[in-house]
Amino acid sequence: MNGSTLHKTATDCAEGLPGAVLEHPFGDEWEVFKVRGKVFMLMTEVPGRPVVILKADPGEARALQEQNSHITPGYHMNKKHWITLEGGEGVDKNLVEELVTDSYLLVVAHLPRAERPVDPHTYGNGNSSRGAR
């Protein structure tokens, strides 16, 4: 998957998540997706390379980085809790959608129950791409 397809795939997935909102708090170069005011995805270009920055469970983030050279620690974010994804071999639609959804659910799980647009423990059950890793 190339960089422009990566951005489009990630955007399409994020826009389909309940309560997700696109903002540009850092200017037009950064697309920031939030749920209930909390960031779950950022997109920009890092020296000409389109990247997607996502929240990830620390253990899973480490494993993802070991398994895929296109996944690195979060650019300008906490390196333990965020990952950066760029286009390349082995990056496909299912992986992008799974990582975007996982990031969203990590953020939703830390919201007060009354503010959660979905139940993070049951949302996506039955989606064939979830848990496929």
pLDDT in the model for residue 99 = 96
**Ramachandran angles phi, psi of 73, nearest 5°:** -60, 155
Q: Is 13 left (phi over 0), alpha (psi -120 to 50) or beta?
A: alpha
Tens-digit pLDDT string for the chain (133 aa)? 999 999 999 999 999 999 999 999 999 999 999 999 999 999 999 888 999 999 999 999 999 999 999 999 988 887 889 999 999 988 999 999 999 999 999 999 999 999 999 999 999 775 434 333 3
Cα three-residue angle 100-69-129, rounded to 5 degrees: 35
pTM reported for the whole predicted model: 0.89
- Scanning the chain, the segments in alpha helix (DSSP H) are 3-15, 58-67, 93-109
pLDDT in the model for residue 7 = 96
pLDDT in the model for residue 126 = 58
pLDDT in the model for residue 77 = 84
3-state helix, strand, coil in the chain (%, to 5): 30, 25, 45
Domains of the chain and CATH, by start: 3-115 (3.90.1150.30)
Q: How far apart are the C-alpha atoms of 4 and 51, rounded to whole Å?
A: 9
pLDDT in the model for residue 46 = 85
> Residue 57 belongs to what H/E stretch?
none
DSSP code for 83: E
pLDDT in the model for residue 129 = 40
pLDDT in the model for residue 131 = 38
